[in-house]
Amino acid sequence: MTRTTPALATLLAATTLLSAPAALAEITLGAVIPLSGSNATPGEDQRRGIEIAVKEINAAGGVLGEPLKVIVEDSAGKPQTAIDAARKLVTVDEVPLVIGSYSSGITLPMGEYLVQEGIPHLNPASTSGLVRNIGDSSFSMVGLDNVSTEFAAKEVIANGWKNVAVLAVNNAFGQGVAQEFQKHLEAMGGGVKTSVLFTGGQPSYRRELQQLEATDPDAYVFTAYGTDAALIMQESFELGLQEDAPWYSILITMMNKDTAPEFKQGLSGMDVGYLGAGGEGYAATYEADYGETFLSAYGGYAHDAVLFAAKAIEKAGSTDKQALLTAIRALGDEGFTGATGEIKLDANGQRMSQPYLKFKVEGNDLVQMD
């Protein structure tokens, strides 16, 4: 025991020293996003969104007269790591609010932890319908997948595609999209001939594509990330699937950047409107700061989550949890305009409506349709 006591003391001392707040006169928020692992690209986009929001707020005088700071922690795409990070933010950095994360499989357990602690949680990206049930002090800055897939299903029916084949990535997000899309399409009189879920990171998707082709659908509806999607588009082109039937992408900005133009001719799709009225300033700052256009559709929501939180703290007049929760609800009721348009929250704290955009591919670029 004599040997362990100094070790424990050292550890406590280290915890205290290493976590000493940088400056007292600062409003500090926390964010947990995927900066490593398979979702590192949208995670980086979220980080940029947060960074721009912090700059904007501080340039305009900060929050309650103090400079704003957001401590960004990596979720590594793993629930345990994300919860550890959230615990660190809550118990050591003592932040009054946590933003996060990206995948629903991580946002759900992390949100539940935050709800237990009574810390306000802003979800900037996860669209699984299960997010609705996280709890009282959890709020979504993004519309959930029941809303986005309904939009996509309407589009598909409007295009005259009755029976479609669905391809989605096999994770919490993809499974949710496939289920919800099928539900909406069937309610509108259409049908899903087959739903194929693929495992990301494969060297080839020919097996999955041939499985889809065998059902002879009116259209192929898919949702996939970055390089996986690029390979899927290339192989569907090579197999002649793109000549058989049109392709439609749910959340098209997730995949457009990585896909070469010759493999995506005639592709159309939808995505969350990552720019609402008043979002031009954000887009301009983003391009000026990072020298490229958005990496994904999600930076804007992370950006708005920070602005929303800052506004709520202003409204509450302090970072007291209860006051902040009341202020968030009030702000959600009256509506708040960020880069992604007006954010209004329903009784469950979920974003009620949000702009969805129709896109088609022209050359390498996405062109918005009316």
Q: Does 200 bind other proteins (CB under 8 A)?
A: no
Half-sphere exposure of 189 (CA within 13 A, CB side): 6
**Does 167 participate in binding other proteins (rule CB under 8 A)?**
no
Nearest to 299 by CA among 102, 151, 106, 107: 102
- Nearer CB in complex with other proteins: 26/238: 26
Q: Toward other proteins, which CB reaches closer, 225 or 336?
A: 225
User: What residues contact residue 102 under an 8 Å CB cut-off, 6+ apart?
Assistant: 33, 34, 39, 42, 43, 46, 75, 125, 126, 298
**Selected binder of other proteins within 104, 182, 253, 296 (CB under 8 A):** 104
179 near other proteins (CB under 8 A): yes
Q: Which of 64, 66, 67, 78 binds other proteins (CB under 8 A)?
A: 78
Helices (H), 19-101: 40-59, 79-87
- CB closer to other proteins, 87 vs 315: 87
Question: For other proteins, which is the closer residue by CB, 242 or 319?
Answer: 319
Pairing of strands 98-100, 27-33: parallel
SS3 assignment, position 363: coil
Question: 231 and 204 in contact (C-beta within 8 Å)?
Answer: yes
Query: Given candidates 96, 100, 176, 269, which one binds other proteins under the rule CB under 8 A?
Result: 176
Binding to other proteins by CB under 8 A, coded x per residue (else -) over 27-66, reads --------xxx--x------x-------------------
DSSP string, 178-190: HHHHHHHHHHTT-
Q: Are strands 138-140 and 247-250 parallel, antiparallel or unpaired?
A: unpaired
Least distance to other proteins from the beta carbon of 40, Å? 8
- Does 74 interact with other proteins (rule: CB under 8 A)? yes
Amino acid at 270: M
Tokens of 127: 């669209």
Angle at 56 (CA atoms; ends 317, 289), nearest 5 degrees: 155
Footprint of other proteins on 265-324 (CB under 8 A): none
Establish if 12 lies at the interface with other proteins (CB under 8 A): yes
Binding site for other proteins (CB under 8 A): 11-12, 14-19, 22, 35-37, 40, 47, 71-74, 76, 78-81, 83-85, 87-88, 91-92, 104-105, 108-109, 112-113, 116, 128, 130, 133, 170-172, 174-176, 179, 197
